[in-house]
Amino acid sequence: MSVEGLEARARRDAAVNQVLRGLNVQQITLGVGVPYARSLREQYPRLPPVHQGVDLRIGAIGPGDPVRSPFAGQVARVGYDPGGYGDYVVLRAGEHEVLMAHLQEVRVKPGQTVRPGDLIGLEGETGAAKGAHLHLELRRGGKAITDQEAFWESLARLTAPPPPKEEKPATGSIQVGGRLR
């Protein structure tokens, strides 16, 4: 990998770290693309072969900590899946859908627009959860992103601030030496 590639990855990782800290993530308890334990697959046979997102412990150990949106988007769906996700919210942001699952309580409604930091719900242990956590899953084209590099790259892009707008000189003005005259 080139130095430029390493620097780009370091910037991406720093941005993702900032997002996770902003969400008050204390620990990643299970990574994306990790195979499920046999005992869990036997208990929940509908589970896919590998974990489809990341499991994040938010705040203190136990349910009830606030789960906030890491980006701007729209609430596409709210639902309950007893054999897997439990109480969940699906946000739509650009070409991605983002599933936030195992919530103790949902605080948004379908069609609602959310901004970074808006309350989505409370961390819980509903569905197939073992202990309180937030399951965060990124989907593109209806499929979960299970490759670790692609997952973190997508999260970094979703949470990146918009580029600054260029200021243009007022119409009919002449710009000389950085000043309008």
DSSP string of the chain, one letter each residue? --HHHHHHHHHHHHHHHHHHHHTTEEEEEE-TTPBPPHHHHHH-TTS-SB--SEEEEESSSSS--EEE-SS-EEEEEEEEETTTTEEEEEEEETTEEEEEEEEEEE---TT-EE-TT-EEEEEB--TT-SSSBEEEEEEETTEE--SHHHHHHHHHHHHSPPPPPPP-PPTT--EETTEE-
Write down the pLDDT at residue 47. Answer: 82
And the tokens for 150? 């692609």
User: In the block, which residue shows the tokens 């195992």?
Assistant: 102
Tens digit of each residue's pLDDT (9 = 90 or more) over 45-89? 888 889 999 999 999 888 999 999 998 999 999 999 987 899 999
Write down the pLDDT at residue 179. Answer: 54
pTM for the whole structure: 0.84
Write down the pLDDT at residue 176. Answer: 54
Q: Which residues pair with 175 in a beta bridge?
A: 180
What letter represents residue 113's amino acid? T
Q: Of 71, 58, 66, whose CA–CA distance to 154 is shortest? A: 71
Let me know: does 128 contact 86? Beta carbons within 8 Å. Answer: yes
d(CA 88, CA 137): 11
The one-digit pLDDT tens for each residue of the chain (181 residues) are 789 888 888 988 888 888 899 899 999 999 999 998 888 888 878 888 899 999 999 998 889 999 999 989 999 999 999 878 999 999 999 999 999 999 999 999 999 999 999 999 999 999 888 899 999 999 999 999 999 999 999 999 888 776 667 666 556 555 555 555 5
And the tokens for 121? 């719900």
Write down the pLDDT at residue 141. Answer: 93
d(CA 87, CA 129): 11
And the tokens for 81? 């899946």
d(CA 78, CA 114): 14
